[in-house]
Chain A
Amino acid sequence: MSNSAGTSDFARQQAEFQRGILDGDDTVLAEIFDSPRERRETLFGVYRYAYGSRLVDAMRNDHELLHLYLGDEMFDEMGYAYVKAHPSEHPNLRWFSQGLPDFLKLNEPYSHHPVLSDLAALEKALNDAFDAVEAPVVELSAMTGFAPEAWPDLEFVAHASASRLDLATNASAIWLALKNEETPPDADVMEQPARLLIWRQDTTPMFRELPTEEAMMWDEAANGVPFSVLCEMLATYDDPDGAAARGAGYLHGWITSGLLAGVSVGT
């Protein structure tokens, strides 16, 4: 059955119902009954209330420490503003709050407090590591299979759960304090960004702050740059004589942390 606009009644009714929830439009009320005990406005209100409340709950779940940091009232105010600005477009609630770091970075009043966006970005990265795709993990023993002359050409594949994040604020210190149920330090913008590496070790999401030199090596290694070139870069950054040893040291740390999914001799 179609109306004069060529839209089926069913489709028109669903669009109106959705507008009633998302925009507070009351048109759909003309097509629903009062119940024996309650007015239709109240009954339809159950759907209106459930919509925002369910999505904000999902955000509380994904951003437990941001919630703790802001408190119920401020978090919910922020949550409803996000819900309004970013209606869910994915069938899985898992992905609903993915845009939160950018939202906090770009929208007032949150943009005046960059630590909020950083904290959300760190939680997002940890969530993403938690359920990232499975990949084999390179064991230290695998490295003994490479002859010394092959080492310069070794190329590395980062584990699928690994990601990098540069934070302008001390959000990672705040995250740690909140996680340990301690009073967080005052929010502060740092002189140098904190270079974080986030990944999943077995089933547990982890992060640690990298020295600038290691962060540079990781970023290039993750792009497929071979070991000899990585060492040349390290040599320009610090003591050239110790560059290969430093490179091997970082590599050892990555492997024992389960950060690499592949090592091979490049062509």
Chain B
Amino acid sequence: MNVASKLPGSSATTLADRPMQSAKPPFLGFGLGLRHQHYDEILDGNPDIDWFEVISENYMIPGGRPLRTLDRICERYPVVMHGVSLSIASTAPPNFEYLQGLKDLAGRVEPKWISDHLCWTGVHGKNLHDLLPIPYTSEALDHVVSRVQLVQDFLGRAIVLENVSTYVQFNNSEMTEWEFLSELSRRSGCWLLFDINNVYVSAFNHGYDPMTFLNGIPADRVVQFHMAGHSHMGTHIIDTHDHPVCEDVWDLYVAALKRFGRVSTMIERDDNIPPLDELLEEVRRTREIADKVLPATGRQAG
């Protein structure tokens, strides 16, 4: 069952809203998620990759080879930081130790931007290490807006938030996911990471048209695309990020390019990591499709 929109006109904006005004992050081109299996091949070769996204938590460690490798990658490529544990929508108190670790890593990496997910990962001192769904209520929206503001103030920069794949919908939701994301971005000033696979997965799981989601996101707020694969279970899809990008998601990528323009795009593989060449082929395809859909002028929305 799809959740009907009950978002009241413009009254959702409160006096407390302080959208962080920040320059839109630059277009970086076509990138890849950095994985340790490819460290040597990347450092020894010179793969045709415009930029890398690194999982922040993998480098929020004291020292050793991962951090040394990251330093070398940062010397050669633009890097963005992508976290999985910010838990921005959690009702637990903010974890300032985590935020300080993130800020310290950002000081080292000087990333083009810092992203995480619109989700929560635990409450009451527990961490479930999953990207858990939220009800799309005005109460949740107010809470997340205030958390984004807190995090942005702490980090001294606007953050980027990604839509997650979800398997359940709450019956107390008052608006759609895309309305929630749009309002969150407008009120807090955060940018959006549009995971095209996740839109596809959630749309299938909840029975709506992914184009409705896509068309519901403001074109000028999206600064990054994720492209990934998933596991189809027949009645539902699980976002495993362990397969090549499927053809339906490539089709949705074309539609996303038409709506959002030239957006930094990357291939995100989290498990069942194939040889680098296989992923480079997918990176090449993101570039070729973008060149075909958005020829010459290099149009960028916003």
A-side interface residues toward B, CB under 8 Å?
A: 1, 8-11, 13-15, 17-18, 21-22, 31-38, 40, 42-44, 46-47, 50-51, 54-55, 58, 87-94, 96, 130-134, 160-161, 200, 203
Which residues from A are CB-within-8-Å of B123? 11, 14-15, 18
Contact in complex: B125, A33 (CB < 8 Å):
no
Given contacts A10-B139, A92-B85, is CB(A130)–CB(B130) below 8 Å? Answer: no
Which residues from A are CB-within-8-Å of B125? 89
Query: Per a CB cutoff under 8 Å, which of A1, A15, A54 touches B129?
Result: A54
Which residues from B are CB-within-8-Å of A90? 127
For the complex of A and B, 6 pairs with smallest distance between CB atoms: A91-B85, A36-B207, A11-B91, A133-B62, A131-B64, A203-B65
Which residues from B are CB-within-8-Å of A96? 129
Contact in complex: B207, A35 (CB < 8 Å):
yes
Which residues from A are CB-within-8-Å of B121? 91
Contact in complex: A18, B57 (CB < 8 Å):
no
Q: How far is the CA of A92 from the CA of B205 in the complex (A)?
A: 29
Q: How far is the CA of A182 from the CA of B5 in the complex (A)?
A: 62
A10 nearest CB across to chain B (Å): 5
Q: How far is the CA of A90 from the CA of B171 in the complex (A)?
A: 31
Contact in complex: A31, B171 (CB < 8 Å):
yes
Contact in complex: A51, B130 (CB < 8 Å):
yes
Tell me if B198 is interfacial: C-beta within 8 Å of chain A: no
Contact in complex: A18, B236 (CB < 8 Å):
no
Which residues from B are CB-within-8-Å of A8? 91, 139, 143
25 contacting pairs across A/B (C-beta < 8 A): A10-B135, A10-B140, A11-B91, A11-B123, A14-B123, A15-B124, A18-B128, A32-B169, A32-B170, A35-B206, A35-B235, A36-B207, A37-B207, A46-B236, A47-B132, A54-B129, A87-B127, A91-B95, A92-B60, A131-B64, A131-B66, A133-B62, A134-B63, A160-B62, A203-B64
Closest residue of B by beta carbon distance from A129: B64
Query: Per a CB cutoff under 8 Å, which of A17, A42, A91 touches B132?
Result: A17
B16 nearest CB across to chain A (Å): 16
Contact digits for B129-168, partner A, Cβ 8 Å, 1 yes 0 no = 1101011010110010000000000000000000000011
Q: How far is the CA of A34 from the CA of B206 in the complex (A)?
A: 9
Within 8 A of A (CB), among B231-249: 234-236, 238
Tell me if B172 is interfacial: C-beta within 8 Å of chain A: yes
Q: How far is the CA of A50 from the CA of B206 in the complex (A)?
A: 19
Contact digits for B164-185, partner A, Cβ 8 Å, 1 yes 0 no = 0001111110000000000000
A261 nearest CB across to chain B (Å): 12
Which residues from A are CB-within-8-Å of B169? 32-33, 35
Contact in complex: B129, A93 (CB < 8 Å):
yes
Tell me if B113 is interfacial: C-beta within 8 Å of chain A: no
Which residues from A are CB-within-8-Å of B120? 14
Tell me if B77 is interfacial: C-beta within 8 Å of chain A: no
Tell me if B122 is interfacial: C-beta within 8 Å of chain A: yes
Contact in complex: A37, B236 (CB < 8 Å):
yes
Q: How far is the CA of A11 from the CA of B93 in the complex (A)?
A: 11
Q: How far is the CA of A96 from the CA of B206 in the complex (A)?
A: 33
Tell me if B285 is interfacial: C-beta within 8 Å of chain A: no
Q: How far is the CA of A186 from the CA of B17 in the complex (A)?
A: 66
Tell me if B61 is interfacial: C-beta within 8 Å of chain A: yes
Q: By CB atoms of chain A within 10 A, which of B58, B87, B122 has the most? A: B122
Q: How far is the CA of A17 from the CA of B140 in the complex (A)?
A: 15
Q: How far is the CA of A193 from the CA of B225 in the complex (A)?
A: 55
Query: Per a CB cutoff under 8 Å, which of A31, A38, A87, A134 touches B172?
Result: A31
Contact in complex: B66, A18 (CB < 8 Å):
no
Contact in complex: B127, A38 (CB < 8 Å):
no
Which residues from B are CB-within-8-Å of A132? 62-64
Contact in complex: A13, B170 (CB < 8 Å):
yes
Tell me if B1 is interfacial: C-beta within 8 Å of chain A: yes
Contact in complex: A130, B65 (CB < 8 Å):
yes
Query: Per a CB cutoff under 8 Å, which of B57, B61, B64, B135 touches A200?
Result: B64
Q: How far is the CA of A50 from the CA of B170 in the complex (A)?
A: 19
Which residues from A are CB-within-8-Å of B57? 91-94
Closest residue of B by beta carbon distance from A204: B65
